[in-house]
Amino acid sequence: MKILVAVKRVVDPNVKIRVKADGSGVELGGLKMAINPFDEIAVEEAVRLKEAGRAREIVAVTVGTAQAHDVLRTAMAIGVDRGLLVQAEGPLEPLAVAKVLARVIAEEAPDLVLLGKQAVDDDCNQTGQMLAALLDWPQATFASKITVVGDMVEVTREVDSGLQTLEMELPAIVTVDLRLNEPRYASLPSIMQAKRKPLQTRPVTDLGIDVAPRLRVLKTAEPAARAAGIRLNSVEELLHKLKHEAGVL
Ligand code: AMP
């Protein structure tokens, strides 16, 4: 089985971000960037499937600027075999990314495609679903367990009422959730080894795909500052405040 994993370069989630002075977006200059945390989980899962003898090759794909090489190297240090950067000038919207991935998938012919359930910069949670629709492949989102048996994949997913288990025929699309696994730390030898793994770059313009944005950002703003909380001494006091001060009871 061949696995393709989509990885996005995002602002490191541990970094505090600032809105640009003109409100046109988030200030990214000089900030530490990282592989999207859910994509790191997808990479780890692909590597575990390979280690268990269920996959023979893993390819990581990113759509982004030239700097996005670094997330492919991170994926290769975890155990991905090769990387493909589809180079674009600015960030693309999920529909454009899904179209690019669909084209790459048509050429690479993977059996299983893993994506994060969402990118933590735009929080869209759309790309995997759009990709499945474009390819007309079965999809399972928010996977917390993935089992491959023959040419079928069984996915346990988190839903409001508990856990749901789906069985799909391969090829299929799976988007992964936080509890699927805990990604390993790449060792120094594997980081060094990753530098020698094949990494291909293709300009997005070569694909002849319409990646023009469909959305226009009107304004980006910081969330309103929250008032400090207070500590109460009893449930009676809480009920009194909810009734007479907050007016919610
Ligand atoms: P989103 O729909 O933007 O929340 O992203 C969901 C998932 O799609 C991410 O976790 C990635 O696996 C994949 N993805 C989104 N944007 C990109 C990108 N530019 N390059 C590669 N994969 C991406």
Which of helix, strand or coil describes residue 30? coil
Residue 131 near ligand 1, beta carbon < 6 Å: no
Average pLDDT over residues 47-70: 97
Q: CB atoms < 10 A from the CB of 98, how many?
A: 25
With a cut of 90, say whether residue 29 has pLDDT above it.
no
d(CA 52, CA 127): 28
Residue with the smallest CA separation from ligand 1 atom 12 is: 115
Token duo for residue 122: 């735009």
Q: Is the peptide bond before 171 cis (omega within 30 degrees of 0)?
A: yes
Q: Is the CB of 97 under 6 A from ligand 1?
A: yes
pLDDT at 149 over 90: yes
Task: Return the pLDDT at 187.
Answer: 95
CATH topology of domain 2-244: Rossmann fold (3.40.50)
Question: Is the overall model pTM greater than 0.85, yes or no?
Answer: yes
Atom of ligand 1 lying closest to residue 61 CA: 21
| Per-residue pLDDT at 90 | 83
Of residues 90 and 171, the one with the higher pLDDT is 171
For the beta carbon of residue 160, count every other beta carbon within 10 angstroms: 5
pLDDT tens digits for range 63-89: 999 999 999 999 999 999 999 999 999
Residue ranges per structural domain of the chain: 2-244
CA distance 230 to 242: 13
